[in-house]
Amino acid sequence: MRQSDIVAEVSNDKQTLTALVEQDNRVVYFYIFAREDLRDRFPKMRACWVRNLVPAPVNDDTDAMEQGMAPMLAAQYCRNLEGEAPLDPAQIQILWNESDDGAALWYQGLLLAVIPGWSLYIDHSVCYSAGCIKQNPLTFPLGSASTNTQCELAEKTRLFWRDWQNEFTNPWPKIQRKLLESYEDRFGPSLKYYLINQGNWPPMAISQHEDEENYYFFTVGMSIRPMPQIDIIFNDEAEKHRRIELAFSVGKEYVTEENAVQMASALSGYAQVPWTTLSWLGEGHTLMSPMAPLGFEGHVISSALCGPADKMRLPKIYGDPVNQFWVSPVFTSELEFAQAKPNGGFELVAAMIENDIGFVFAPRSAVI
């Protein structure tokens, strides 16, 4: 029995997950596992059978499992009963999905396997293999784009990355322009523009605007990629929640422009949170930040703090609506209240609105 070889290994964009392909002289598997410091949340490696390299066993390969080896797939589930050729490492391509939590295995231009991002957040492993023809304990059939959404999504992801890697089809100039136009239509021209992606993909920035009374700051580009977990939480309504941009505003009578920029720098860190933590941001969520104004502990994010007259309609990105959340500083007591119980953030926002606290930051007393 030859020892298993890792023939491909690729980490995702934020280095939170690693995907690898492993094969011995019997079988090929595709795996995803979490970085060590995230394994308390994601302890289970996701495993996907890809192909047998020798004739398929008649029954489930329990002997291999008992010996701690990757099991072959039983014949009744296999497209190819005689086994297939080992994978050539030079022909393997692993593509992470847009939300950075799932991946697809391509080989010689053909899709072999998919481990969807949402499978990371449930108790059991779910995966799809092109070599499988019938559901079984190891994998689901991948099928085709016309029969399986996962196959269709993998193809869309392949085209997504192809566009971003081509200078002629790069979507960024169009996305950037549309977002800035939305901000400028409501809050005037962009006076300053701060890059916050440190030269990495995706491109992201903060656009600064102002009027006679307030400074305004908006993220540009956060909505390029969908947030993790959204598909499993919101299911059929996921498209309504998966893309966001953040905003911050402060009154000129309270701060200088330099102080306003410093306060708004919290947006830079928050813009990375969904993908560095494999989580998501939504109405009433709270975050701690050293960039919160003096005396405040962090922020609550909310679209409800912004009245109908001040709401902006952001352009759709990849066909999805984009939600804008205002980042509002909160005291320690408010942060603790919001985090102490389910929907505490909603109750905090309701209390703030009841006390006439809006999306523009101004000195205030605690409402909790």
pLDDT at 236: 93
Tokens describing residue 336: 């603790």
Check residue 217 and give its pLDDT.
98
State the pLDDT at residue 2. 61
The pLDDT tens digits for 102-146 are 999 999 999 999 999 999 999 888 999 999 999 999 999 998 888
For residue 14, which of 30, 34, 44, 31 has the smallest C-alpha distance? 34
Task: Kindly report the average pLDDT of the chain as a whole number.
Answer: 95
What is the model's pTM? 0.94
Cβ neighbours around 25 below 10 Å, total: 12
Within the chain, which residues score under 50 in pLDDT?
Answer: 1
Phi-psi region of 274 (alpha: psi -120 to 50; beta: other; left: phi over 0): alpha
Angle between helices 332-340 and 344-354 (to 10 degrees): 140
Percent of the chain residues past pLDDT 70, beyond the cut: 99
Total count of residues recorded for the chain: 368
pLDDT tens digits along 8-67: 999 999 999 999 999 999 999 999 999 999 999 999 999 999 999 999 999 999 998 889
